[in-house]
Structure 1
Amino acid sequence: MAHLFTPKQVGAFVLSHRIVLAPMTRLRTILPDEIPSPMMADFYGQRASEGGLVLIEGVSISKVARSYIGAASFFHDGQIEGWKAIADAVHAKGGYAFMQLIHGGRQSHVEMTGGVDPVAPSVVPFEGVALTKDGFVPVSPHRALCLEEIPGIIEEFRVAAQRAKDAGFDGVELHGANGYLVDQFIQDGTNTRTDAYGGPIENRVRFLREAVEALISVFGADRVGVRISPSGEWGGISDSDPEATFSHVAQVLDSYRIAYMHVIEPRIKGDDTLHEGHPPVAVKYLRRYFSGPIIAAGGFDGDSAEAVVASGDADLVAFGRYFSSNPDLPYRLKHKLPLTPYVRAAFWGGTERHYSDFPAYDATPKE
């Protein structure tokens, strides 16, 4: 584990180790106003560590941007104190907290959007699901964004970033992955526009560029990260040439000198492993196009994380499932201690049980 436990400069911060808490949608806000709950502060505080990076679950930037009832959002003043408590909990352990900002785009339902149709770059048939009070239901029909509407969404990203900054967060991550709105613009399977936001890849990344620039205007480039999912399958996403598309995306992101690029390996779809034992492929081909820190995510254990960092293809590794049940995951990996199994049934909503009640490793000898 020598490579995982060496310091690394990531944007404005020097991290003491390379193990990152991945952003996970856990549906633990207080309804109906989606107030960040005390158990969320407990969860993140438990998983923070001295000099470690904590990425906070996808936070919707507006009512229309929401996809899942109970998921995190930050677009009204009643949410401020709850988010401050989470940032404070991470800082109390000496960690750094980045808030991931998301717009769900077509992955939504009218019950989540306030009664209006979900939006997307283009109208393309889609059989996804959203989560409402009735559980997982088929998404509502979506409509294509008009050109004049796009600046308003970019402004919502900027305002959400400012809210995150005011609440004490150290930076933000743009969710450009998993078939949500930014990803829908990037990939040609979901973007069939013929205006300045569609067609060649240079146009399809325009929305990404503008969103990144909006976040940078608040935090500066060295406190902004971007998550992408080349060849990812979540959200019915697709591209005719993903390697060419995401090589270009990596070059675009490199030009901004952002804090990091966060890459989900295609062997993972959401919280499921599609291709067990499949070696990392996305970070390997993207490394030559992005000169800054790369966070690899998706299906790693301690040994494979050490290997991908040692290879130079990635600089850090984000863990979701194993971090969900092991609040002291960096300590356990460093000392090769047993890992507590995660509880899949508790991933999508619930109480403190199997969420914030997992204990740290107990080294006390058992009698």
Structure 2
Amino acid sequence: MKHSTLFSRIELGPYTLKNRVVLPPLTRSRSSQPGNVPNDLMATYYSQRSGAGFMVTEGTQIEPRGQGYAWTPGIHTAEQIEGWRKVTTKVHADGGVIFAQLWHVGRVSHVSLQPHGGAPVAPSAIAAQGVSVFVETGPGTGELSAPSQPRALTREEIAELVSFYAQAAQNAMDAGFDGVEIHSANGYLINQFISKHSNQREDEYGGSLDNRLRFLREVTQAVADRVGKNRVGVRFSPLFQSTDEARVYLGLVEDDPHATYIAAIKVLEGIGIAYLSLAEADWDDAPQLPASFRHAARAAFSGRIIYAGKYTAVRGEKAIGEGWSDLIAFGRPFIANPDLPQRIANGWPLNLADPASLYGGTAMGYTDYPCHSV
């Protein structure tokens, strides 16, 4: 498979990528405490995976209220910016291209993670159901908890949040990142504004689909204005089958997901960002996106499109060959295989990830997975 389309070069924004294999955002909860500061261990982890043509960091909160899980990194303090600079310096030394994912969890949080124990913020005061967050119970220890009851944001706070996204994007560039990805998926803050299940506002940010897309539009435009639209991507997780689990984890299923997300994609096309990342459901027997949606997304968006979700090399080749995807992200395989592109190219077997060490901990199950021995 050495000469497959997965290993052909491609332009993304101002960058020429060496292949079409993507390291997608993967929460690993290894930041240093106190302060949620990226560290040397994280720099090693990302540099190990710089064989990817394109890399996106784990979600990194844009402000203190944006945190929903213990030990996730931020990008809103000077210490965090310096910590991320360790990551970008090492990745660039290894020839990688890396974007920071800008994250705000909104209502998917707990008072213990919020400044001064306050309520999480959200479009409306509607609690997330059927999802757990991970809270710290002691140094290096934690437990799962139900999210706390959120409070609704004021108009003034929404405007402030838009500025926080723009500042976080600037912070990412100051830290040496090549660009940023705006996390608009998986039931987090921007997704909460898009979904009528979590957004029951009666002002200009709620009600009609155009209104519910307003926050996405304002955030993306502000970030593009700050760092350049060709250095910006957005991630969605559209679902076309409703279950309680799916609604929480992968995008708050809409009554008409096709219309909702094609309208959202057209918003991004109007701004002119570099890429769209589409995260498909990845649990066993999860539904695939309809072909009609894939073709409509391609027709609506002129930038690059990345797909993720239980892709194999063969399925990724097919997606690129059929023209509805440009790059393919491999999430879980990249956790256990730092040399994943080389393994794919040579048909080498893959390591299996250890579920017990996915979130939090030390180098074990993080930077100690072996590369293939030739």
- TM-score normalised to structure 2 length: 0.92
Q: Percent identity?
A: 40
C-alpha change, 1:358 and 1:277, in structure 2 (3 Å) is farther
Q: Which residue of 1 aligns with 2:33?
A: 31
Note the C-alpha offset of 1:165.
0.6
Q: Which residue of 2 aligns with 1:346?
A: 357
Contact 1:224 1:258 (8 Å CA) reproduced: yes
CA RMSD of aligned residues (A): 1.6
Give the Cα–Cα distance (whole angstroms) in 1 for the partners of residues 178 and 287 of structure 2.
Answer: 35
Q: 2:312 aligns with which of 301, 304, 328?
A: 301
Q: Which residue of 2 aligns with 1:289?
A: 300
5+ long unaligned stretches in structure 2: 138-142, 240-245
Q: Counterparts in 2 of 1:5-84, with a 5 A limit? A: 5-49=7-51, 52-84=53-85
C-alpha change, 1:31 and 1:47, in structure 2 (3 Å) is same
Note the C-alpha offset of 1:218.
2.0
SS at match of 1:4: helix
Of stretches 284-293 and 347-356 in structure 1, the one that deviates more from structure 2 is 284-293
Q: 2:135 aligns with which of 132, 154, 170?
A: 132
Q: 1:123 aligns with which of 122, 125, 133?
A: 125
Post-superposition CA distance 1:303-329 (Å, at most 9, x none): 111111111111001111000111111
Give the Cα–Cα distance (whole angstroms) in 1 for the partners of residues 57 and 123 of structure 2.
Answer: 26
SS at match of 2:306: strand
C-alpha change, 1:70 and 1:280, in structure 2 (3 Å) is farther
Matched, 1:318 2:329: yes
Of stretches 235-244 and 25-34 in structure 1, the one that deviates more from structure 2 is 235-244
Give the Cα–Cα distance (whole angstroms) in 1 for the partners of residues 248 and 90 of structure 2.
Answer: 31
- TM-score normalised to structure 1 length: 0.94
C-alpha change, 1:180 and 1:45, in structure 2 (3 Å) is same
Matched, 1:191 2:194: no
Q: 1:179 aligns with which of 187, 190, 195?
A: 187
Matched, 1:233 2:257: no
Matched, 1:168 2:176: yes
Note the C-alpha offset of 1:276.
5.3
Contact 1:121 1:145 (8 Å CA) reproduced: yes
Give the Cα–Cα distance (whole angstroms) in 1 for the partners of residues 172 and 98 of structure 2.
Answer: 10
Amino acid at match of 1:80: I
SS at match of 1:133: strand
Q: Which residue of 2 aligns with 1:259?
A: 274
Contact 2:39 2:86 (8 Å CA) reproduced: no
Contact 2:107 2:127 (8 Å CA) reproduced: no
Of stretches 346-355 and 234-243 in structure 1, the one that deviates more from structure 2 is 234-243
5+ long unaligned stretches in structure 1: none
Q: Which residue of 2 aligns with 1:201?
A: 209
Runs of 4+ off more than 6 Å: none
Of stretches 242-251 and 123-132 in structure 1, the one that deviates more from structure 2 is 123-132
Of stretches 327-336 and 231-240 in structure 1, the one that deviates more from structure 2 is 231-240
Give the Cα–Cα distance (whole angstroms) in 1 for the partners of residues 105 and 194 of structure 2.
Answer: 14
Post-superposition CA distance 1:70-107 (Å, at most 9, x none): 01111111222211000011101111110000110000
